Amino acid sequence: MKTLQLLLVGLLALVPVVAAQASEEFGSLTPQEVSAKLKQKNVYVFDNNDKDVFKAGHVPHAKWLHPSEYDAKELPADKTATLIFYCHNEH
C-alpha cells in the first residue's frame, strides 16, 4: 500500500485530477483524496494522457481513454459511479 501511495503522490503531484459524481460538481482532488476514493467501491479512474505516457506509467487500475475519441459505452453504466479523469497538464 505504501508503494501505491508513493506512486499516486509522485504521479499526481503535478497532474490535475477531476472527479464527478451525479450529485457533485467537477473539481480538483489532491493525491491524498484520490487515494482515499480509490479505497471506495464504484470508483473509476480514467487516464487521458497520450497513449505512450499511459504505457510508461499510470494510476493503478486506470483505464486509458483518448480525450476526444471515446463514447459513453466506455464509461460505467452506473450513473451514480464516481469518475476520476486525469491527464498531464503543464499549466
Instruction: Give per-residue pLDDT as tens, 42-88.
Output: 999 999 999 999 999 998 889 999 878 888 889 999 989 999 998 88
| Nearest-angstrom CA–CA distance, 73 and 52 | 23
Number of structural domains, the chain?
Answer: 1
What is the SS3 assignment for 8? Answer: helix
Q: What is the pLDDT of residue 69?
A: 85
Within a domain: residue 69?
yes
- 9: which residues sit within 8 A by CB, 6+ positions away? 31, 32
Q: What is the pLDDT of residue 28?
A: 86
pTM greater than the 0.75 cutoff: no
Res. 25 pLDDT band, cuts 50 70 90: low
Q: Which residues form the domain of 26?
A: 2-86
* Of the ranges 2-16, 22-36, 39-53, the best mean pLDDT one: 39-53
Within a domain: residue 91?
no
Q: Look at 2 and 70; give whichever has higher pLDDT.
A: 70
